[in-house]
Amino acid sequence: MSTLAKNIRRVSSADGAVVLDVRRGTMFRLNPLGSLILELLDRGDSIQQIAEQVSAQFGVAFDAVQRDVKEFMAALEIHGVLDPHSSKAGSPTRYTP
């Protein structure tokens, strides 16, 4: 399971979220789906659980959602949003679709 890095702050709204890396001074926006994924991740859900919930909520095939969630997780890691030491299965970028 991955967790957010300690230097990350976020604010969510109906429009998505704003994520701030207080250490680097960088900020970016997430759409509502990205915000939901980040919220589920912060809650402690695994990639599998996140993909299942998003698949059910939006009526999209699980395999497609799982692949997209893994890609999103890799992007979060690249941007320093995820704690690189928190994943039990290794880095999200090591997952294969």
N residues, the chain? 97
18 CB-near residues (< 8 Å, 6+ apart)? 10, 11, 27, 28, 29, 30
pLDDT class for 80, splitting at 50, 70, 90? confident
Give the whole-angstrom CA distance, residue 82 versus residue 60. Answer: 25
Give the pLDDT confidence of 16-33 residue by residue, as tens digits: 999 999 999 999 899 999
- The neighbouring-strand residues paired with 19 are 10, 28
Domains by residue range for the chain, with CATH:
8-94 (1.10.10)
Angle in degrees, CA 50, 55, 1, rounded to 5: 15
Q: What DSSP line would sit under 24-73, residue for residue? A: TTEEEEE-HHHHHHHHHHHHT--HHHHHHHHHHHHT--HHHHHHHHHHHH
Structure confidence by residue, pLDDT tens digits, 41-58:
989 999 999 999 999 999
